[in-house]
Structure 1
Amino acid sequence: MSRASCAVIGGGILGTAVAHRLVETEAFDEVTVIEKETALARHQTGRNSGVVHAGLYYAPGSLKARLCRRGVGMLRDFCAEHDVAYDEIGKVLVALDEVEAGRLDAIEERARANGVPGVRRVGAAELRELESHVQGVAGLHSPSTAIADFPGVTHVLAALVEKAGGRVLLGTRVVDLRPTSAGVAVMTEGPHGRSVQVYDEVVICAGLHVDRLARRVGGDVAPRIMPFRGEYYTLRPERRDLVRGLVYPVPDPRYPFLGVHLTPRVDGEVLVGPNAVLALAREGYTWGRVSPRDLAQAVGNRGFAAFARAHWRTGIGELAGSLNRRRFIAAAQRYVPELAVDDVVRGPSGIRAQAMDADGSLVDDFRIERHGRVTALRNAPSPAATSSLAIAEHLVAEITGVRGRREGP
């Protein structure tokens, strides 16, 4: 009797979470994670801020809202069970004027609709009690918002996959996918050269490269992944007491990104950032990393011109902050006025794999597509790490449901 097999492409927190769910439910006899890097969590998982989002912003009923709230509980329990760092340090959105204070109403309403516990409005005096170095006219406090070690979670998940008999292939790049009568042929290039393996099912959790792989099995060009680099500074150790928890601005609904904020991490660092600039390569973590192919696909995307027309002023501001540290830090000084330019040093950067539709709009919700025997996670930006275990639960339920209908009488 043949053994059912599934390959998961991508060794970040989403790929390993899906693989873990597959072996946990015994949905397949053989489960293989394929990762092009020589270590896990090298890209979005290992380069994000480490925030476990509570679900303040997301449209009630959306996949983001539902899977974020489900994922928070699953992640918290998983970290406790496997001794992975997880700390509910809380988060405050800081309103600098009455206009921003008015925006808190809609966010609070969404948070309550999503079931976020403990969310409450605070005035200027109570804001100072929560964060003694922060100024603002009002705030929205989310005490359950947390930070976690996402790379640590990823490594535990991978170890559990291997313990259950699954495989984790590192340094193995997927160079092609082809549907066949027997399943999906996955062509890889690894330490021992090129090889082809046919799997019954394939799940693509490839982040920055998911659209290209999805195209190989019949997916549309859109949504196209747009690589937005987020750059950070870090507080010098002697200035880390400027914040106790997570300090965020009130998001402006006209703009697609949250803006610069201050983020303590489980390793003790405090991040200031990120900004959002279009990267010159899908893995362009610095200005010096340029891929003509990636750049041509980004700016040649038919929706990019519409996006640029709508947000060019914001883009110029983000670019200026990237090139000028004083300009960058000024954004955070608006609500932490004691923060000085000399209090920070250049920190890490990450790339947000943001999907853009053909009309130039950024895809807001998680987007999952099914192409024959291939499931592709076409859009999974923040809060994907928070939601990872719930996303895996959701994906595997869909995959096994489809297989059951196809293989049934």
Structure 2
Amino acid sequence: MTDIDCLIIGAGVVGLACAVQMSRVGNSVMLVEQERGIGEHTSSRNSEVIHAGIYYPPGSLKARLCVEGRDLLYSWCQEHGVNHRRIGKLLVAVTDAEIPALEAIQVNARQSGVCSLEMISQSRLHELEPAVAGVKALLSPQTGIIDSHGYMESLLAEAQRYGADLALDTRVHSLAPTAQGWLVEGMSCGERFFVHARYVINAAGLFASQLAGRIEGLDETYVPATHWCQGRYFGYSGRAPFKHLVYPMPEANTAGLGIHATLDLGGQVRFGPDVAWTDVLDYQVDDSLCDSFAYAIGRYFPAIDKNRLIAGYSGIRPKLNASGQSAVDFNIQGPKVHGLPGLVNLFGIESPGLTASLAIALHVSQLLD
């Protein structure tokens, strides 16, 4: 039996950020991860964008934690030498019919504390990005790109500097409340283990709901269904046609923001993600998607050469809304919600989870005070 202050389940970007936050204030921390490396799922299979916080409903956790987390993340990158660039983003109205929705997004962003957006004309858009077709656009100067792997490695190094331990290939099977915390049982590298922890943070991402279903004493009404939504990406060979991130208007009645163009830190363009609901943990990208990608991209990038599209990678987002339903906010439950001392469950931590990670970690620590 090992006695610790805090057990964190899931070594994605949020679990790693929680390990930093909890260890910095003097807790003994153990971070466990079922895979053989950190951030193997959602945290490393995304657009690697630092979001400004423009889309989310004002007052929501996504809106508040994205704005707070964005500023914390830029500061972290500077202090810890994480590769990033504040490259800026263009959200494009391709037709006049999309202008009202574009203006509504600017109002929404302002209500969430994002006042830096600039509405630009067609001529200004053409000056900034000659290859982009649109009648108006919002320029977001606070949007950036980041080396997500480098960021996670920096979080791990900082947590370990404060004494946190990482156990890979470690799966938690059950959690039971005790008078002083939680008794946790599982398998680590093929051997059974027991840990007693004062605090438990369920940051298991795609598997958070499954894990919560194995927590003794947790009423099932506090365990939302998690729906897996796959997003595929295509690379684009040759010279990048853009200098900024380029986003179309969000698609109505879908789970995503439309197939957008992002740049990586090496200057290469990738397009995605699309939206594909799935029950299978499958990261394959089929070449047959090329035509549908080219069609969607062609609305704002008419000169696209379909032959330069190359099937890339995919990720899976843990969503709390099912197909056809409206997007749902982060669901972060502390003891005041479910009534179990020392336990925090994080459900539906998808985009902007990477951007918000440091703010999420601070929020979690406050729920455990």
TM-score by length of 1: 0.84
**1:383 paired residue among 348, 352, 356:** 352
Structure 1, gaps ≥5 residues long: 288-320, 401-409
Distance 1:219 1:157, change over 3 A: farther
**How far does residue 94 in structure 1 lie from its aligned partner after superposition?**
0.9
Structure 1 counterpart of 2:361, one-letter code: A
Q: Distance in 2 between matches of 1:58 and 1:327?
A: 27
Are residues 35 and 153 of structure 1, via their aligned partners in 2, closer, same or farther at CA, if it must alter by over 3 Å?
same
Cα RMSD (Å): 2.0
Cα gap change, 1:128/1:360 in structure 2, threshold over 3 Å: closer, same or farther? closer
Identify the residue that residue 18 of structure 2 maps to in structure 1: 18
Distance 1:232 1:363 in 2: 21
Give me the TM-score of the superposition, normalised by structure 2: 0.93
Equivalent in 45, 48, 68 of residue 47 of structure 1: 45
Q: Which runs of 5+ in 2 are unaligned?
A: none
Instruction: Pick one of 189, 192, 206 that aligns with 1:191.
Output: 189
Aligned length: 360
Distance in 2 (CA, whole Å) between partners of 1:86 and 1:183 is 39
2:228 is the counterpart of 1:255: no
Structure 2 counterpart of 1:299: none
Q: Which residue does the alignment assign to 2:302?
A: 337
Give 1:172 shift: 1.0
Name the SS for the 1:346 alignment partner: strand
Q: Would you say the 8 A contact 2:3–2:196 is kept in 1? A: no
Residue 179 of structure 1, CA deviation: 2.1
Counterpart CA distance in 1 for 2:301 and 2:194 is 55
1:301-340 mapped onto 2 (5 Å cutoff): 323-340=288-305
Which structure has greater helix proportion?
Answer: 1
The aligned counterpart of 1:224 is 225
Paired AA for residue 208 in structure 1: L
1:350-387, Cα deviation, whole Å (9 max, x unpaired): 00111137x98455211112341321001211001000
Deviation at 1:115, TM superposition (A): 2.3
Q: CA 1:87 to 1:383, structure 2 compared with 1: closer, same or farther past 3 Å?
A: same
Contact 1:55/1:116 (8 A) holds in 2: yes
Quick one: which amino acid aligns to residue 11 of structure 2? G
> 3-state DSSP class of the match of 2:368?
helix
How far apart are 1:182 and its partner, in Å? Answer: 3.6
Q: Report the AA paired with residue 300 of structure 2.
A: Y
Native 8 Å contact 2:173 2:186 kept in 1: yes
Runs of 4+ in 1 over 6 A off after TM superposition: none
- Which residue, 320, 334, 356 being the options, matches 2:321? 356
Q: What is the match of residue 274 of structure 1?
A: 273
Contact 1:363 1:379 in 2 (8 A): no
Question: Which stretch of structure 1 is more off in the superposition, 125-134 or 259-268?
Answer: 259-268
The alpha-carbon deviation at position 37 of structure 1 amounts to 1.1
Kindly report which structure 2 residues correspond to 1:91-130, keeping only aligned pairs within 5 A, or say none: 91-130=89-128
1:397 is the counterpart of 2:362: no
Q: Distance in 2 between matches of 1:219 and 1:275?
A: 35
What is the alpha-carbon distance in structure 1 between the residues aligned to residue 293 and residue 348 of structure 2?
28
* Partner SS state of residue 220, structure 2: coil
Distance 1:267 1:41, change over 3 A: farther
Partner residue of 1:180? 178
Match of 1:205 in 2: 203
- Name the residue aligned to 1:301: none
1:226 is matched by which residue type in structure 2? Answer: H
Q: Partner residue of 2:239?
A: 239
